[in-house]
Copies of this chain bind each other. A is one copy, B any other.
Amino acid sequence: MAHHPIVTLTTDFGLNDHFVGAMKGVILDIVPECEIVDISHAVQAFDVLDGAIAISQAYSYFPTGTVHVVVVDPGVGTTRRPILASSDGYHFVAPDNGVLSLVYAKEERIHVRHITSEHYFRQPVSSTFHGRDVFAPVGAYLAKMVDSHKFGEEIEDYVKFAAPRPKPAGENKIRAVVLKVDRFGNLITNVTPADIPALFGEKAGSFKITVGNKEITSIHSAFAEGEPGEVFGILGSMGYLEIVANRAAAAQLTGAGKGSEVSIVLGAAAGKGA
């Protein structure tokens, strides 16, 4: 099959302005046969972790060779570096502020370059919109099969943060957090089955999860298994424990939201008063 270039976009630009349209124009002007796919433009403004979650949850479904452009860039116009990270399957173009941290965590082999070859930029480069002037054109030239080593030297000191992980908080007690709230009002926590096997599947024991003003004592495997008004847990499609409800928004039912604490008590202690 002939090479079919695909570029994805993940930004906090929203869809209310011309920003995304301008980026797409720049890309198509360089590689007109490119298919441009939006992953999300609704990353919370300036929220690098939220952007890191979005790209890390979507990139791996795309065909090998896809170029992922990620722009959540509160440091635009400063000395923060533009980078190109290349794994075995994908290229990622982004500011060096940690927005690729969760990609680094999933990809065993990755090479990160500081993009310095300014002849691939759109000139003049503005100080406020590198999505249009730097990241879009670099992504387009990558889609056009320009070799990654032509964009700059490899670096090792790129910015990388760890996602917040659940923490022990006393005997049989764990403190976790709501990473994000999705469109349906599901609360996506940072708890994976590897973190707390006792919550899931055949190994499940008794437990009590407190989120907002609700105590959750059951985990189901499908949304429709919940009773009307019941708030319960589910192992969601992102690989995390989600606090959800059947045809209703758990965020509303619990009063919890992004950043809310999730308190988990396991075993016999779960039966006692908190």
Are A40 and B16 also in contact (CB < 8 A) when A74-B224, A77-B224, A221-B127 are?
yes
Q: By the criterion CB–CB under 8 Å, are B18 and A54 in contact?
A: yes
A32 interfacial contact with B, CB 8 Å: yes
> How far apart sit A224 and B127, CA to CA, in the bound complex (Å)?
11
- Complex: chain B residue closest to A30, CB-CB: B63
| Number of A residues, CB within 8 Å of B | 71
Query: Does B4 lie within 8 Å of A32, measured CB to CB?
Result: yes
Within 8 Å by CB of A19, from B28, B183, B221, lies B183
User: 0/1 per residue, A74-102, Cβ < 8 Å to B?
Assistant: 11111000000000000000000000000
Q: Quick one: which of B21, B63, B247 contacts A32, CB cutoff 8 A?
A: B63
Are B128 and A237 in touch, CB under 8 angstroms? yes
Interface pair A29/B78, CB less than 8 Å apart: no
Q: Is there an interface contact between B40 and A128, defined as CB atoms closer than 8 Å?
A: no
Complex CA–CA separation, A184 to B46 (angstroms): 9
Stretch from A7-15, A151-159, A263-271 at the B interface:
A7-15
Top 6 A-B pairs ranked by shortest CB distance?
A: A77-B222, A25-B61, A21-B39, A129-B237, A14-B183, A25-B62
Q: A12-B183, A17-B40 are in contact. List 8 more A-B contacts (CB 8 A).
A: A15-B41, A24-B61, A24-B62, A75-B224, A77-B222, A78-B222, A78-B225, A132-B237
